[in-house]
Structure 1
Amino acid sequence: MTDVSGDRASRPTRRSALAGLVGGAGAVLAAGCTPSGVSPANAPTPSRTPSVTPGGPTPGVMTLFKDPGFNFNGLLALGGSGQGSAEVGEVLTAVNTINKAGLSSQSYVETFKKLGDELMDAPEGPSPDEQTTRFRALRAAQYYGQALFFVLGSDNPGSEEQLYKSGRGAWDKFCKLCDPAPVTANVAYGRTPMPVWFFRPEESDQRRPTVILTNGSDGQNVDMWTYGVPAALDRGWNALVYDGPGQGQLLFVDQVIFTPRWETVVKPLVDWLSTRPDVDKDKIALTGLSMAGDLAPRAAAFESRIAALVAMPGCLSPWLGFPAEIREILTPSKQESNDIWNKEVVPELPPADAATMKKRFEPFSVQAMLDARDGKMFTDFYTPARRVEALDITDVVDRIKMPTLVLDYEDEQFYPGQARQMFDKLTSPKDYVKLTAATGAQLHCSPMAPQQHCEVVFDWLGETLSVG
């Protein structure tokens, strides 16, 4: 960990358009496509079974799967064990089962869904008490989320909504058994209310600092538990978890996609918090995990009531997380862009890469999501691509006035270099921390070290807001 305070290129060929895609369910799935240190424009065409070298970002036992996309997700599940949102033995047993069956979206989905189902049933032996039932439900939410991530590449993509609801049911069951249980509410957002879960250390009206935990693309509520709720409660903070547009219930059930104006999401949340007697209105912090390292700073640039901001990692443009070969498909002309996509790219996409693109674009297009659930590739590339492009916050970062912590990660595979670029553009009080392989905290969002991740974030927040 280190701490420091014109004219479009010629039309891409089918081969060049595919060159930046990762074989299997590669890193495109998490909004990035190239290994750290490799320029997207010069990225080599990957093999179908990428090799993982001993000196790579996940050496030795850190390599659960040979495919880096599956491996990253497996590490996220494993990392949740420290906060009770996974069990080491359960995850590693699932990994062995998947590898024995042959790694694929199908084997991954089947194995983790079965594990979630088993945990939602009563265990053999003595009747489980509330704590057992509670944490079995939390782990089930994790495993359903793992299955959900790859379901569009499975034999049953149409089960996506139901699989989400299974995970949501597990999460809600866990929350009801917490002591105290989080306050649940629906906060107005356009025509579709946002579900929120407001966690408190205890039920008094004592005013406390509060952190709004913002998920990224493809994350689930259980990830906000791993990356903040217990850390907040243990330090006497409140923590707000929510589903915004493009996330959770709003995406998979209500069919509301991402908005580039995230301040319209955060403002009603701050309004709601400000009415509560147990919230210190002068100490409301905002964090953004993964792609929310773009969303949260955007909101903070226009919401002055945020007292402190954390971008995890800093991200100026999620669109730059796609390889140049994919970005080049997008032209000023909708017709031309879609012709390239449908006539040159889609016919050459292997099934695994097709599933990758379906997953990557569904939070930005309802039609793309519905097509994917129907086993079809979306035909309108232009519209969701423009929506991703619109998330660029390069020109608004200098509006941020509150103290800001920008996290970065060694071997950041999705937004390499962007955290430092954001830090350099900030004009507010700022700090930059890079989590490294020296303590096993490498890779996007430190999947193997979420506890260490939370320590850095909450130590900074406590010092910045004079808490504790």
Structure 2
Amino acid sequence: MTDVAHEAPHPTRRTALAGLVAGAGGVLSAGCTALDTPTAQGRAPLPSGSATGSTGDATPGAMTLFKDPSYNFSALWALGGAGFSGSEVGEVLTAVNSINKAGLSAQTYVDTFKHLGDQLLEAPEGSKPDGQTRRLRALRAAQYYAQALFFVLGSDDPGSEERLYRAGRGAWDTFCRLCDPAPVTTNVPYGKTPLPVWFFRPDDSGERRPTVILTNGSDGQNVDMWAYGVSAALERGWNALVYDGPGQGQLLFVNRVVFTPRWETVVTPLVDWLAARPDVDADRIALTGLSMAGDLAPRAAAFETRLAALVAMPGCLEPWLGFPPEIRKVLTPDKAETNTIWNKEVVPELPPAAAATMKKRFEPFSVPAMLAARQGKVFTDFYTPATRIEALTITDIVDRITTPTLVLDYEDEQFYPGQPRQLFDKLASPKDYVKLTAATGAQLHCSPMAPQQHCDIVFDWLQETLPGR
């Protein structure tokens, strides 16, 4: 790798990296052409839609809200949350129109969605809002603050990142407090920094129920878990646990704890806490992983044997491969050499948008990178966070998983193309594979426009795998 880096002429590397804005930048900010649903071990294959080839445009027609793929994907995510009251179609599309009219930029995107969140936390016009109105307005506010948070490092005020996170967290906590019943909130021991958890129940009867642990990805917020599991679980009589792990939410933005490759050390205390509760059926605890957690959750399941079911959404073996090859080539076995290449050859040539993308993608793996980004600077130590991302590779431990597993894949998957099927093929446990497709608007990483379809597939499989007794 070192030799390759030196053999390539500097303009080649710089030109390729500059292309992150138009090409690979879309990949950093967030499949195949034919449907293939392999037969599960001992079970019939699950349906996964009609076989449709890619048209070459992953977001045709009305699904193209912004020309820039990273902003478009994020806005589609916000729009898709409407099915679970996590956004309002009119609010999102009005925001999109305002941003396009003003000129798309990190600044206009952040300002517009933050303002929308602020408005929703104020009293609406007309009569005094009741608890349900305030609850749902807070949920939507949490979504819009999350939208602003995602791009704030590229704005004129990157130092507002923690304040913006706290605004979104405050909206989420308001929503939770107004739920009936309100989720149980506590801190579960984990190293020196406990894990904040939100334990949702369909009611407060104390009935023993199956429970799903919902694991977020590398840059998701709690509100995402409402659309990708909590609401669907409650509707089906399940409990649902939402938590911030290292590199996520409170642990990242406030406590400054970055991702760990040993995710079993995160999940095991959660299982301990759940198993001790009388309203949890300890024999029916499932674990899901959304986005990069499609790597984290399988890692945990390879060591935490009390899990009764696992869902990877999508399956992921090597998160490092989600970065463009031009970025991966910067990493060499030598720290000093790597950082010299980064600081002397790459950083000086990064356009502002690409620099903001790199800041965002590396901050969950490096506190110095996060703090530099908040000062409007690009981090200088590339080697440390890059090796941490590399360490998330689970290729050699997948065969340890004995838990029944569902692997999801997506047509036009941007981040981890091919990896869901590779993970599925390596599994030795009972397994199923489903690809969500453009035929029903469920394409792209995590089906941003189709979380309802997504949850239908996941919970139908979970209830079949863990039937009631």
Q: Distance in 2 between matches of 1:54 and 1:331?
A: 38
Q: Alpha carbons of 1:241 and 1:106: their partners in 2 closer, same or farther (altered >3 Å)?
A: same
Q: Distance in 2 between matches of 1:105 and 1:18?
A: 23
- Native 8 Å contact 2:28 2:415 kept in 1: no
Q: Distance in 2 between matches of 1:149 and 1:186?
A: 25
- SS, match of residue 56 in structure 1: coil
In structure 1, what is the equivalent of residue 278 of structure 2? 277
In structure 1, what is the equivalent of residue 4 of structure 2? 9
Q: Distance in 1 between matches of 2:285 and 2:119?
A: 39
In structure 2, what is the equivalent of residue 22 of structure 1? 20
How many residues align? The count is 445
For residues 82-139 of structure 1, give each alpha carbon's deviation from its aligned partner in whole angstroms, at most 9, with x where no partner exists: 0000000000000000000000000000000000000001111100000000000000
- SS, match of residue 121 in structure 1: coil
The alignment yields a C-alpha RMSD, in angstroms, of 1.6
For residues 4-34 of structure 1, give each alpha carbon's deviation from its aligned partner in whole angstroms, at most 9, with x where no partner exists: xx87524343532552653169324436xxx
In structure 2, what is the equivalent of residue 43 of structure 1? none
Q: Distance in 2 between matches of 1:290 and 1:338?
A: 28
- Native 8 Å contact 2:264 2:301 kept in 1: yes
For residues 224-262 of structure 1, give each alpha carbon's deviation from its aligned partner in whole angstroms, at most 9, with x where no partner exists: 001010100011000000000000000000000000000
- Native 8 Å contact 1:8 1:331 kept in 2: no
In structure 1, what is the equivalent of residue 214 of structure 2? 213
For residues 349-402 of structure 1, give each alpha carbon's deviation from its aligned partner in whole angstroms, at most 9, with x where no partner exists: 000000000001000000000000001110000000000000000000000001
After superposition, where does 1:15-414 map in structure 2 within 5 Å? 15-16=12-13, 19=16, 21-23=19-21, 26-30=25-29, 55-414=56-415
Q: Distance in 2 between matches of 1:55 and 1:422?
A: 25
Q: Distance in 2 between matches of 1:236 and 1:8?
A: 57
Gaps of 5+ in 2: 34-53
Q: Distance in 2 between matches of 1:289 and 1:241?
A: 12
Length-normalised TM-score, structure 2: 0.93
In structure 1, what is the equivalent of residue 36 of structure 2? none
Q: List structure 1 runs of 4+ shifted beyond 2 angstroms.
A: 6-18, 24-31
Amino acid at match of 1:318: P
Q: Distance in 2 between matches of 1:118 and 1:465?
A: 43
Length-normalised TM-score, structure 1: 0.93
- Native 8 Å contact 1:446 1:453 kept in 2: yes
Gaps of 5+ in 1: 1-5, 38-52
Q: Distance in 2 between matches of 1:82 and 1:26?
A: 28
Amino acid at match of 1:26: G
Q: Alpha carbons of 1:299 and 1:17: their partners in 2 closer, same or farther (altered >3 Å)?
A: farther
Q: Distance in 1 between matches of 2:331 and 2:147?
A: 31
Amino acid at match of 2:399: D
- Native 8 Å contact 1:283 1:307 kept in 2: yes
In structure 2, what is the equivalent of residue 42 of structure 1? none
Q: Distance in 2 between matches of 1:139 and 1:438?
A: 28
For residues 319-378 of structure 1, give each alpha carbon's deviation from its aligned partner in whole angstroms, at most 9, with x where no partner exists: 001111111110010000000000000000000000000001000000000000001110
For residues 57-80 of structure 1, give each alpha carbon's deviation from its aligned partner in whole angstroms, at most 9, with x where no partner exists: 100000000000000000000000
- SS, match of residue 228 in structure 1: helix
Q: Distance in 1 between matches of 2:354 and 2:20?
A: 7
In structure 1, what is the equivalent of residue 37 of structure 2? none
- Native 8 Å contact 1:36 1:413 kept in 2: no
In structure 2, what is the equivalent of residue 458 of structure 1? 459
Amino acid at match of 1:16: R
Q: Distance in 2 between matches of 1:64 and 1:329?
A: 33
Q: Alpha carbons of 1:18 and 1:369: their partners in 2 closer, same or farther (altered >3 Å)?
A: farther
- Structure 1 residue 54: deviation in Å? 8.0
- Native 8 Å contact 2:26 2:68 kept in 1: no
Q: Alpha carbons of 1:94 and 1:36: their partners in 2 closer, same or farther (altered >3 Å)?
A: farther
- Native 8 Å contact 1:144 1:164 kept in 2: yes
Q: Alpha carbons of 1:315 and 1:100: their partners in 2 closer, same or farther (altered >3 Å)?
A: same
- Native 8 Å contact 2:162 2:254 kept in 1: yes
Q: Distance in 2 between matches of 1:292 and 1:256?
A: 17
- SS, match of residue 100 in structure 1: helix
- SS, match of residue 85 in structure 1: coil
- SS, match of residue 21 in structure 2: coil
Q: Distance in 2 between matches of 1:179 and 1:87?
A: 22
More deviation in 228-237 or 9-18?
A: 9-18
Q: Alpha carbons of 1:10 and 1:166: their partners in 2 closer, same or farther (altered >3 Å)?
A: closer
- Native 8 Å contact 2:413 2:445 kept in 1: yes
- Native 8 Å contact 2:176 2:182 kept in 1: yes
- Native 8 Å contact 2:213 2:286 kept in 1: yes
In structure 2, what is the equivalent of residue 44 of structure 1? none
- SS, match of residue 453 in structure 2: helix
- Native 8 Å contact 2:2 2:333 kept in 1: no
Q: Distance in 1 between matches of 2:29 and 2:416?
A: 10
- Structure 1 residue 205: deviation in Å? 1.8
- SS, match of residue 217 in structure 1: coil
- Structure 1 residue 55: deviation in Å? 4.9
- Native 8 Å contact 1:440 1:449 kept in 2: yes
Q: Alpha carbons of 1:62 and 1:193: their partners in 2 closer, same or farther (altered >3 Å)?
A: same
- Native 8 Å contact 2:58 2:444 kept in 1: yes
- Native 8 Å contact 1:26 1:70 kept in 2: no
In structure 1, what is the equivalent of residue 51 of structure 2? none
Amino acid at match of 1:193: P
Q: Distance in 2 between matches of 1:100 and 1:36?
A: 35
Q: Alpha carbons of 1:440 and 1:358: their partners in 2 closer, same or farther (altered >3 Å)?
A: same
Q: Distance in 1 between matches of 2:279 and 2:3?
A: 54
More deviation in 18-27 or 274-283?
A: 18-27
